């Protein structure tokens, strides 16, 4: 299972973004974003949500809980 830092870097690279561009998406500096990817600081949950939406992947995928980028919707249907 990958750690989230690896997933953040891989997703960023897969979308051909620099750290500065990814940082702008979540409203932080490139230096700060680099610390998220290196594991020096923990990325806040609200910023992970923004990245998951941007990359169109699940939070579980970023967290390394699954290797499926977009697992089936598990919400209860009414």
Q: What CATH code is carried by the domain that includes residue 32? A: 1.10.260.40
In a domain, 38, yes or no: yes
**Least confident piece of the model among 7-11, 43-47, 66-70:** 66-70
Domain range enclosing 56:
4-63
**How many structural domains are present in the chain?**
1
In a domain, 68, yes or no: no
- Look up tokens 């997703």; give the residue: 11
Region of 28 (left: φ > 0; alpha: ψ -120 to 50; beta: rest) is beta
Q: Tokens in use for 69?
A: 């980028």
pLDDT band, very low/low/confident/very high, at 70 (cuts 50, 70, 90): confident
In a domain, 77, yes or no: no
Question: Mean pLDDT, to the nearest integer, of 6-22?
Answer: 97
- This prediction has a pTM of 0.85
Higher-pLDDT residue of 23, 77: 23
In a domain, 35, yes or no: yes
In a domain, 24, yes or no: yes
């Amino acid at each position: 299972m990958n750690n989230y830092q690896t997933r953040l870097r891989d997703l960023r690279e897969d979308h051909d973004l620099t750290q500065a561009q990814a940082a702008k998406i979540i409203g932080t500096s490139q230096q700060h974003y680099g610390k998220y990817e290196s594991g020096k600081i923990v990325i806040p949950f609200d910023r992970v949500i923004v990245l998951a939406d941007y990359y169109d992947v699940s939070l579980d995928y970023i967290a390394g809980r699954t290797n499926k980028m977009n697992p089936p919707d598990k919400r209860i249907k009414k």
